Copies of this chain bind each other. A is one copy, B any other.
Amino acid sequence: MLTYIFVIAITAEAMSGALAAGRRNMDLFGVALIAFLTALGGGTVRDVLLGNYPVTWTQHPLYIYLTIGAGMFTMLIARFMHRLKQIFLLVDAMGLVAFTIIGCDVALRLDYATPVVIMAGITTGIFGGILRDIMCNRTPQVLRHELYASVSLLVALLYLGLRALEVNENLNLLVSFMFGLGMRLAAIRYQWSLPVFAYDNDQWED
């Protein structure tokens, strides 16, 4: 099941990357590259950090075609995308949660300590979006919006907690997934957000 969600999720992330590239007037190639990076960049950073070679997507060329294809497709349907906003946010939320769980699994398989497993989950969940924003020369959105990265953290904690309690793996997956999805959708609906740290002291170092 996680694989299906993963495939849907990388498609959604690729589309979000393509839209961001469009806002910077990038060409066809830029759109393809940003789509790819947004969808698969988080997992790539995780693999490189953990030394998990070969990097996942290099073993699944299908993901390359899929994300680039989704980016191209987005160029065609962009003018209708605002009507799809609700669906898009739903799929993006599914992606965030699925990426997080997959990221934890990879680090668990490599026997990393629990805090590293959590960081691997979060990295997989949010770093694609961070790379997208760096490439598009804007401050990463995932660190300023309603609960997003925090949902990734909570999902990782719940998933590892239930695992420590030896809850059945499939049940754990289901519970963690539904919880994360619910949290993210509620955060969007009710505009939950973390306290913001607004620091503005120009005397102090640029």
- Give the B-binding residues of A (Cβ under 8 A): 16, 18-31, 33-34, 44, 48-51, 53-55, 58-59, 61, 64-65, 75, 78, 81-82, 85, 112-116, 119, 130, 134-141, 143-144, 149-150, 153, 193-201, 203-206
CA gap between A153 and B55 in the complex, in Å = 21
Closest to A203 in B: B82
CB pair A144–B199 under 8 Å, yes or no, is: no
**The residue from B81, B143, B198 contacting A29, defined by CB atoms under 8 A apart:** B143
Closest to A130 in B: B135
A-B contact sample (9 more), CB < 8 A, given A23-B206, A29-B149, A30-B149: A22-B198, A25-B196, A25-B197, A54-B112, A78-B197, A78-B201, A130-B135, A134-B135, A141-B205
If over half of A's interface residues share one DSSP class (helix, strand or loop), that class is named, otherwise mixed; here it is: helix
Closest to A197 in B: B22
CA gap between A19 and B203 in the complex, in Å = 13
Q: How many copies of this chain does the complex contain? A: 3
CA gap between A144 and B193 in the complex, in Å = 35
**The residue from B16, B24, B196 contacting A27, defined by CB atoms under 8 A apart:** B196
Shortest CB-to-CB span from A162 to chain B, Å, is: 21
Chain B residues near A48 (CB-CB < 8 A): 48-49
In the A-B complex, the 5 residue pairs with the closest CB atoms = A22-B199, A30-B143, A51-B53, A27-B194, A61-B115
Shortest CB-to-CB span from A176 to chain B, Å, is: 19
CB pair A25–B144 under 8 Å, yes or no, is: yes
Chain B residues near A150 (CB-CB < 8 A): 28-29
Shortest CB-to-CB span from A202 to chain B, Å, is: 9
CA gap between A50 and B20 in the complex, in Å = 27
Closest to A75 in B: B197
